């Protein structure tokens, strides 16, 4: 029986599949599929079997023809502009089924995602605050998300004073850098996996000192009504084909969210299409089969995260091999 692990992380723009066990034909199939079998799609052939990440920093779902790139594999020129992170892509206009442009924004903010009042949203949105100039990250305070019906305690907290955090991703615990990023004029906050549920209303607060606006000064969101949104009532009825879009127009807003929706030990094939933009964070899954990640744009779809031996020491050693394409 072949056991394989798919890791998508780091900064170099590679997709790696590590395989272990006995047999040759299935090994070859699992490894070859990590390249560009069809239209640059990156595929995981086997189920994963645990084990550690190890290795240095790498990134993202793969090139369409060998060699390293920084984008998820591509099947053509940019399907649907799921506007997103970095590089002037913008945040896009579509947000769930209630994606009207926000009317009232906090002082000094050009846009928020999710937009205030957005409805029918994915349950895994990366929070995005757009400023008129380049912001900076602070080292105090926190960004918090509360369930509006049960506001007694935050359902997600990102502490800006912690440069490294422990995160459970795909059922496994990783040490990862603080999940807050600056993309041009945007601050992007990746929430913990599975932090939000379907059919709920949430609001976001930002403490003073967590984010430094352009030109310095103070920025905060304290009002529970200022940044509020609703998630969709239910997830997709089928996971055979899933769409990931940072602007909320897909089934999910994160690659990890789509992977988490695939049931363990599945046998039917799953296609996950990743729209344009920079998708931050380590991605991991195990005990799932026949999954294809397909980027909408070879250069514009980027999975970016950091993992290395300093964060998560390798335990693979001689037990397994890693190949990159």
Instruction: Please name which of 50, 71, 38 lies closest in space to residue 7, comparing C-alpha atoms.
Output: 50
Its sign, for the CA torsion 19, 280, 38, 56, is negative
What is the four-CA torsion angle of 30, 33, 35, 36, rounded to 10 degrees?
Answer: 180
Q: Which residues of 274-311 are buried (b: 16+ CB within 10 A; e: fewer)?
A: bbbbbbbbbbbbbbbbbbbbbbbbbebbbbbbbbbeeb
CA gap 278, 161 in Å, rounded: 24
Alpha helices in 223-283 (DSSP H): 255-261
Residue 317 carries which DSSP code?
G
CA gap 217, 142 in Å, rounded: 17
Ordered structural domains, the chain, with CATH:
2-78+237-324 (no CATH), 111-230 (2.60.40.1220)
One digit per residue, the tens of pLDDT, for the chain of length 325 reads 333 344 443 333 333 322 222 222 222 222 222 323 233 344 454 444 333 333 333 333 433 333 333 334 333 333 333 333 333 344 433 444 444 444 588 889 999 999 999 999 999 999 999 999 999 999 999 999 999 999 999 999 999 999 999 999 999 999 999 999 999 999 999 999 999 999 999 999 999 999 999 999 899 999 999 999 999 999 999 999 999 999 999 999 999 999 999 999 999 999 999 999 999 999 999 999 999 999 999 999 999 999 999 999 975 543 333 333 3
Whether the Cβ atoms of residue 190 and residue 177 lie closer than 8 Å to each other: no
Q: 25: how many CB neighbours lie within 10 A of its CB?
A: 8
């Amino acid at each position: 029986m072949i056991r394989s692990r798919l890791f998508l992380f780091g900064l170099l723009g590679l997709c790696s599949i590590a395989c272990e066990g006995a047999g040759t034909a299935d090994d070859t199939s699992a490894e070859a599929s990590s390249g560009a079998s069809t239209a640059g799609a990156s595929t995981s052939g086997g189920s994963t079997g645990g084990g550690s990440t190890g290795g240095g920093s790498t990134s993202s779902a793969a090139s369409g023809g060998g060699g390293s790139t920084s984008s998820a594999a591509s099947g053509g020129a940019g399907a649907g502009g799921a506007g997103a992170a970095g590089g002037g892509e913008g945040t896009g206009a579509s947000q769930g089924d209630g994606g009207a442009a926000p009317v009232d924004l906090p002082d000094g903010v050009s846009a928020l995602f999710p937009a205030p009042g957005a409805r029918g949203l994915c349950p895994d949105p990366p929070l995005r605050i757009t400023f008129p100039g380049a912001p900076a990250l602070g080292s105090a305070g926190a960004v918090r998300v509360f369930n509006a019906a049960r506001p007694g305690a935050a359902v997600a907290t990102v502490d800006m004073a912690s440069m490294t955090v422990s995160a459970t991703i795909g059922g496994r615990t990783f040490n990862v850098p603080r999940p807050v990023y600056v993309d041009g004029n945007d601050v992007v906050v990746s929430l913990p996996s599975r932090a939000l549920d379907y059919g709920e209303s949430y609001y976001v607060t930002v403490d003073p000192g967590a984010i430094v606006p352009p030109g310095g000064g103070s920025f905060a969101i304290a009002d529970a009504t200022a940044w509020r949104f609703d998630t969709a009532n239910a997830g997709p009825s089928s996971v055979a084909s899933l769409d990931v879009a940072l602007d909320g127009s897909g089934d999910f807003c994160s690659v990890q969210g789509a992977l988490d929706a695939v049931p363990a030990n599945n046998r039917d094939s799953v296609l996950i299409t990743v729209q344009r933009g920079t998708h931050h964070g380590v991605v991991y899954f195990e005990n799932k089969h026949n999954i294809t990640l397909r980027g909408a744009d070879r250069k514009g779809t980027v999975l970016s995260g950091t993992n290395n031996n300093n964060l998560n020491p390798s335990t693979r050693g001689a037990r397994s091999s890693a190949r990159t394409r």
